[in-house]
Amino acid sequence: MSHSSKKPNKYDSDKEVTLNVNNISEYDEAESYKPYVPGESKKSKKKKAKKVILIILLVLFLLVAITVSAFFVLQYKGKDMTSFEDANIESIDEAVAENDGKTITYNGKKYRLNENITSIACLGIDKENLGTYGNVVGTGGQADTNMVLAIDTARGDVTVIAIPRDIMVDIDLYDVKGGYLGSGHEQLCLAYAYGDGKHTSCKNSVASIQRVLFGMPVNSYISLDMSGIGPLNDAIGGVTVVSPETINGFVAGKSVTLYGENAVNFVHARGDDINASSRRLERQVAYIKAFASSAAKAAVKDFGVITRLYNRAQQYCCTNVGLDNVTYLASTLMSKGINSIKTVSVPGEMKMGDKYAEFYMDTKAAYEMILDVYYDEVA
């Protein structure tokens, strides 16, 4: 059963998912012209004019107050996005973990978990529309893009963690009716297929992503289908990005402003060699950074763009991140000045499996990446 409409190649792990059944006022002219009323003094007219102006100002004040109040209510409601209370963060042999991994001693240095970080899994799905066919598990597509946004709400720092779609990790397997079958060591992109193409698929992907991140809690997710890339890209007036590779008319090192289908082409196109998906991931990371920068600039001029973007995205995405969460994060980052947007990739090596490309993580280097992103060194 194939879950991608694109032409497969031998290095593409869009492989058939083995299900193992056995496996988004008009101006009122009613008042019109009033004729002069004898006996009505100019003074009384002025008083009426002042009264009308005061009423207008009062209405405007109330509208502003309501808008501001709504903003702060959304901001307040959106604060609690990540909980480390039940976290049990894993460690490696070279590290000594205490307090369920919240304190780590590694290479003679002590690290403490930064609990101000919110993590959001961002998944790009290789389908035009989210969901399954006939409610059959395995027909919901695969996650071509897997990234985690680690947002430090105290410092205003954002780290984009890029995770190769072909990284080998334990994923939870389900039959066509959603019955649990056990787990299997497969490419991460396949985890999304074992679900309803929406929330359960996202949760299944997040479960595997957390395994890649040594158990680091990822409580929020958003998946976006291919048809949503163009509209969201154009909603902020296009995105200007520098391509890291030469492919499909894009030239390495050259800046290009993307609109519509060209944006889809930029993030989705890939070559047919074993490292093609890794290079595409570089392009996707470059695009995410450029999109975030453009959206931030637009929001500085008009914060309402955040709400409009969120509402527009609802047509093309599945998420457990509410408008209150988005408002809180956007306002917090803007108040901090968005100090930095850093990108890192899970380190490792791409190899050719029996039939498809497989990425094997460098455990020690990946663990050091987690310490760098999520922990602070204790003096």
Query: What is the structure's pLDDT at 11?
Result: 52
Coil/strand/helix, residue 378 = strand
- Give me the pLDDT at residue 16, please: 56
Question: What percent helix, strand, coil does the chain show, rounded to 5?
Answer: 35, 25, 40
Written as tens digits, the pLDDT of the chain (379 aa) is: 434 444 445 455 556 565 543 342 333 333 333 343 445 455 555 666 666 666 665 555 444 443 444 444 444 444 455 566 666 788 899 999 998 889 999 999 999 999 999 999 999 999 888 998 888 888 899 999 999 999 998 888 999 999 999 999 999 999 888 889 999 999 999 999 999 999 999 999 999 999 999 999 998 999 999 999 999 999 999 999 999 999 999 999 999 999 999 999 999 998 888 989 899 999 999 999 999 888 888 888 888 888 899 999 999 999 999 888 888 888 888 777 766 689 999 999 999 988 889 999 999 999 999 999 999 999 7
Whether 350 contacts 164, CB under 8 Å:
yes
Measured in degrees and rounded to the nearest 5, phi and psi for residue 136 equal -95, 120
How far is it, in rounded angstroms, from Cα 107 to Cα 92?
A: 12
> Which residue has 């956007």 as its token pair?
330
CA pair distance 75, 314, nearest whole angstrom: 20
Q: How high is the pLDDT of residue 209?
A: 97
Helix (H) or strand (E) holding 68: helix 42-77
Cα–Cα distance, 146 to 122 (Å, whole number): 6
Residue 313's pLDDT is: 92
DSSP state of 213: T
What secondary structure does DSSP assign to 290-323, as a single string? Answer: HHHHHHHHHHHH-THHHHHHHHHHTTTEEES--H
Cα–Cα–Cα angle for 49, 55, 56, rounded to 5 degrees: 90
Q: Where are the beta strands (DSSP E) in the chain?
A: 95-98, 103-106, 109-113, 117-125, 143-152, 157-162, 168-174, 180-187, 220-225, 239-242, 255-258, 317-319, 340-345, 348-352, 357-361, 375-378
- Six token digits for residue 87: 């976290």
Angle 34-38-40 from CA coordinates, rounded to 5°: 75
The predicted pLDDT at position 86 comes to 63
pTM above 0.95, yes or no: no
24-28 long-range Cβ contacts below 8 angstroms, 24+ apart: 24/228, 24/311, 24/312, 24/313, 24/314, 24/315, 24/316, 24/317
Q: Which of 288, 306, 287 is closest to 297 using CA atoms?
A: 306
- Give the per-residue pLDDT at 18: 53
Number of H helices, E strands in the chain: 8, 16
Tokens of 296: 């931030």
220: helix, strand or coil:
strand
Spatial contact of 102 and 89, defined as CB atoms under 8 Å apart: yes
Backbone angles phi, psi at 65, to 5 degrees: -60, -45
Q: Which residues contact 164 (CB under 8 A, 6 or more apart)?
A: 146, 188, 277, 278, 281, 345, 346, 348, 350, 359
* 271, two tokens: 């070559």
